[in-house]
Structure 1
């Protein structure tokens, strides 16, 4: 047996959908407003995972401009029909409203690294779609949403047969299951004459769980299990919280596994906060005498350490061409040489400033996932800002209302008020400006005069983020420790579904001509 340590894919890897093809396991996860869309990881032994590619072209025109924070690509479902990989997913354009305003798409490929077919829109009842393949037939599962006043946003699970070639509906839509408690994320498998409906239950926060129902017929009626397969909601002391959104897969030797999302909260005076977002975990599953799936270690709580069947752990890194691919991510679009240039100055990344850090349209930002509660990021930046509308630096980001940034920018001469004196010519200073942003707005925490180039850094220890810069060869703190836990799923009242990232950004709010060069970006995450 091999001992795996959960979570196996760490830091912002939610809603895992797992499939096995020969001796490889593949997991697709949600990407929301971030690119690359629908990252896919793979493993042979379930303990060691590598990035294997993503679903390029998943969204129309390769753009998510305008989608809100935590909108975009939700809950992809990955499947294999014996010949091709299939992915079905929803692009969600409204968050926190009765209307999800979404479109559901299907795309296929013979290899997860691509090339993926042009996505085709299918029946879009709600988010969290899945496909079920049986005897040459194709079925689409989905959540039903009732947006009407007094309606239930989670109004049951529906099933529609699709033509395998045209993806048009065949026959009517079947209502499989409704219940008072919120259910979503349906997946279907067949075993010993039963159809098992695996469901996400209770929302995606600390009440999350996995519930199972079954039927002798695919179209129902379905009988609910009397207990959850997985949840952590009844024990807030568990190290793995928010356990839910599961999918079952069988190993080559006949054993069963459950992939699911989970989170590792920080314990703060304000309550638990999950800065790393929701992550991917694996559990072993057995079947009881009555034919229901159960966790192999007993109960329904997620285990941190899990014994799984031993297989080769050989990995062969697969990545798309280009140096700005994984682990780099960008907001709402792929990095483009027009604003992210790696050729003009070899060994450096040149960003051309565009919109500000709260824009939904054209941010010049590259970031990487923070995967542990202890981390350090560092980068050298060289730039010559000539206006307060220009800035570039190091950023810790959750979304447009939750970020911390240390930026090289311009301010008025010392002692003068903020009145735009740069247009008179001369004067002004190049400074580092430390800013924190939460739902109450942005605040400048500290300012210090510097000369470019300058090396910037931040050290994260639990809920504390301490920014620094290198002066005379010595790391020098700037400002007080900041509350990193605000960059979490659980801070504030808005729905949040992603995770904290560390990266570089640049802005020029006037004519997008300002550029900044970055070298030696390093993100080190320590378990």
Structure 2
């Protein structure tokens, strides 16, 4: 056993569903509008995690073109019934206003690496679905339900219905088994069975600073369910100074030795505005069963920053520079937005990453943007682009991106007369208008030749750089506020933005001619910042 500093999956990795099969642990997390859908990480010791696969890789499984920001894949549930892996997920098409259009699906595979099946459509009555395999062989589908008729709008409770795997459909009656507590917004259900009790773990309080894990139990699978005597087994809502905030939406796993752990999402806010630039991350807590047959979190309910786990994390790997070249395709760290037809937006056939300019940056349909998660509060990023811009409607470059309403973009483009230039763009907090601002005057550059583009982030301070061939990097534009690349500034009302900051490359051709931009490499270099409160906590 050794002490680990949370989170175990840093950066945008929310809504964890954990599973152990023999000696192997797996965590599935939400990916929202980023494709391929669902991240599955693997570990042998709960300390060291490696991104293993993203199972939703083709159009028949997932097509998110048109899904708004922070829609798409919500809260997957990964289980194993002794024979095969099962993955349940939601594709959300609308989330704002009175209605939510949320379609639930099930896929399965013999091996975690796949191939994963085409999906079975299950229902659209709510989201955050899970699948419970009872010890009598029956399978049960659980999801939250939304009631659009109420004022204020609310979540109606947790629905239970039997799933017939052979028939590939839900059967029998639907029953609302749990309506939650006075914290409201009950969602994220997971069912367990132990000592003749059915246990229901849910999330409540929304995804912001009142988030919590709520626990209940019943002797019958369909209830009635009695709420835990402490109500919430994990929450930071009453501890505003705790390092891990927004804590909730959890799942349980037991080690081969019988130790029990709860994984949960959490955010690590920075700045006086409490902004979670890294989004909602996955953390872990030790738990135990009390003599009263109730579950408790060790030292809870406030989550601990430091937790004892079986393994020892390789910190050198966490801080290692990641230089990505493209001779062997797109590295697994990278994703793109929404489309299941990646050949239309990028290629690695030349050994470089070629983006084919499509719609504007921030499009909800088809834009050529390939990026990776920001997983550290301070880092450097660098690339080299070769792009022959023809006018102001063609551009390609380096972006720090949260959503269509919130990004920074340094692009090689051109004036209307065809003269190439560098243009620094920002949408900052532009919701609902989505208008650009321009923090610096355009910089004229030669019409031919590669350009090196770079950025540094130190906490909330973001600085862009550029260099022509044979020249040294020089800054362009002012120091910008990187903290706006956060859920709290994502362009929606409270509980409405769910992802995290990315950094990557983009190409746009608003003329519709798909002009190509070639990128030689991409560097992501974590930087230790002694002023960062989380590094101080980790070293204390």
Determine whether 1:503 maps to 2:504.
yes
Change (3 A) 1:498 1:58: farther
Deviation of 1:170 after TM superposition, in Å, equals: 2.4
Q: Which moved more, 1:468-477 or 1:252-261?
A: 468-477
| CA–CA distance in structure 2, aligned partners of residues 400 and 187 of structure 1 | 33
Report 1:355-394 matches (<5 A): 355-394=359-398
Give SS of 2:477's match.
Answer: coil
Deviation of 1:432 after TM superposition, in Å, equals: 0.8
Deviation of 1:59 after TM superposition, in Å, equals: 5.8
| CA–CA distance in structure 2, aligned partners of residues 395 and 340 of structure 1 | 16
Deviation of 1:153 after TM superposition, in Å, equals: 3.0
Report 1:179-328 matches (<5 A): 179=180, 180=182, 181-227=184-230, 228-268=232-272, 271-296=273-298, 298-310=299-311, 323-328=329-334
Specify the alignment match of 1:445 in structure 2: 439
Give SS of 2:91's match.
Answer: strand
Deviation of 1:201 after TM superposition, in Å, equals: 1.2
Contact 2:35/2:57 (CA < 8 Å) preserved in 1?
no
> Residue deviations 1:190-225, cap 9 Å, x none?
111111100101111111110100111111100001
| CA–CA distance in structure 2, aligned partners of residues 468 and 186 of structure 1 | 46
4+ residue runs over 6 A deviation:
none
Deviation of 1:149 after TM superposition, in Å, equals: 4.8
Contact 1:370/1:525 (CA < 8 Å) preserved in 2?
no
| CA–CA distance in structure 1, aligned partners of residues 102 and 331 of structure 2 | 27
Contact 1:5/1:47 (CA < 8 Å) preserved in 2?
no
Q: Which moved more, 1:116-125 or 1:486-495?
A: 486-495
> Residue deviations 1:340-389, cap 9 Å, x none?
1212x33x211111100121111011100000110111000111111101
Specify the alignment match of 2:405 in structure 1: 401
TM-score for the superposition, normalised by structure 2: 0.90
Specify the alignment match of 1:467 in structure 2: 464
Contact 1:340/1:351 (CA < 8 Å) preserved in 2?
yes
Specify the alignment match of 1:487 in structure 2: 485
| CA–CA distance in structure 2, aligned partners of residues 106 and 121 of structure 1 | 7
Q: CA RMSD in A?
A: 1.9
> Residue deviations 1:408-463, cap 9 Å, x none?
00014xxxxxxxxx4xxxxx421110011034321111221223311000000111
Specify the alignment match of 2:421 in structure 1: 431
Change (3 A) 1:335 1:375: farther
> Residue deviations 1:124-173, cap 9 Å, x none?
32010111001210000110111125374300111001112123222211
Structure 1: segments with no counterpart, 5+ residues: 316-320, 413-421, 423-427
Give SS of 1:337's match.
Answer: helix
Contact 1:354/1:362 (CA < 8 Å) preserved in 2?
yes
Specify the alignment match of 1:455 in structure 2: 452
Specify the alignment match of 1:416 in structure 2: none
Alignment length (residue pairs): 502
Deviation of 1:513 after TM superposition, in Å, equals: 3.4
Report 1:154-165 matches (<5 A): 154-165=155-166
TM-score for the superposition, normalised by structure 1: 0.92
Give SS of 1:385's match.
Answer: coil
Structure 2: segments with no counterpart, 5+ residues: 318-326, 529-540
Deviation of 1:519 after TM superposition, in Å, equals: 1.1
